Amino acid sequence: MKVYFVVKEPSERTINHFVSSLGNALQKQGCEVVYGLKLLWTDEVLGYDIIHFQWPEGLFGLFDHQVTDKELKRMNQRLLWLKEHGKKLFYTCHNLKPHTNRNENLLRLYELIYSNADFVHHLGNYSCELLQQKYPKARHVVIPHHIYDNVFFFSVSQREARQRLHLPQDKKIILSFGKFRNKKERTFVLNLKEKTEAQSSAAEANSSLFTLHSSLFLMPGFYRETLHTWNPIKFITRLYHTLYYRLKGIQFSNEVIPDDMMQYYFCAADVVLIQRLDILNSGNLPMAFHAGKVVVGPDVGNVGTILHETGNFTFDPEHIESATDALQDALEAISKGAENKTYAVTHWSSEHIAAELLKCYQT
């Protein structure tokens, strides 16, 4: 079977492991898999059995691209042309709407993809139940987010990981991985940290409770603005925020973490905190499970559903107290991480997920 993923061709700079690792797993199942954007606009696309869309915002190159009326019309015509030629159109529902780019034509592009899809692949039950009512003509299937078991191996011990990152061995480490998208997420984590520290004195009075005061918040993507700028106002602003956040006790990096260092962050942690407040899916959830960590996340979207189903911990994004309680509970249940790892390897392996997707392709 010939499968075409309509995404920018993976490279060392632009690689997205969701697509590349899934493509590799499909190849092992006997599929021919190709990537790229130009193929969509050629007659050669008719030679592929499956045309699988991923992120609508990436269909014209960069994710922050402002979709024009002309591009929207062109895509509409192309989708109709593909369907007229009997092509099956698949779409993976990563997001219900764009994260940041709220260009009106991009929202219309989302609608175009949804309304023309023959199959909508969901990563959890929440989006499936929501969208199958809105788009009843498509077949909706739930196939979970796979783990990147052909990319990351999490083979180092916690002690080794902490030594590599120069982190203390005697603290409980709470990891939030990935770039913080906005000030609201940063404020939430800062409030969470301050709230837990304020409660620590009461917890210390009970020797049976672990005190959050003795924890460390490891957030490599908390603030990504570097000090390298010729603009004096930007420099002062970035310097202020860098110093302010560091004085608040947040461990972060101004640089993107390379793939070969990623496992050290997850292996060093005790708990993984998903810092998103408005989210559908999160790649950090299967990543944390694969690394053998207990997870705390918002009770929203597919993330909340999966955390409930697997016995992990959720919080209400509107109430900081619920996040404090969930984090405390998670830190007292660190041993659940081993159970999470077994669950991920059993149910979310790239081989298993590729086999499930292939079944859908073949129907």
What range does the domain containing 51 cover?
2-146+348-362
Question: d(Cα 133, Cα 15) in Å, to the nearest integer?
Answer: 33
Q: Do 193 and 339 fall within a single domain?
A: yes
Residue 80 binned pLDDT confidence (cut-offs 50, 70, 90): very high
Task: Quote the CA–CA distance of 211 and 201 in Å, as a whole number.
Answer: 8
pTM for this entry: 0.91
Q: What is the pLDDT of residue 209?
A: 47
Task: Tell me, yes or no, whether 10 lies in a domain.
Answer: yes
In this prediction, residue 29 carries a pLDDT of 94
Mean pLDDT within 22-36: 95
Q: Which of 105-114, 203-212, 250-259, 337-346 has the highest mean pLDDT?
A: 337-346
Judge whether 36 lies within some domain: yes
Residues 135 and 226 in one domain: no
- The answer to whether residue 151 sits within a structural domain is no
Q: What is the pLDDT of residue 199?
A: 72
User: How much of the chain exceeds pLDDT 70, in percent?
Assistant: 94
112 and 163 fall within a common domain: no
Q: What rounded mean pLDDT belongs to the chain?
A: 91
Total domains present in the chain: 2
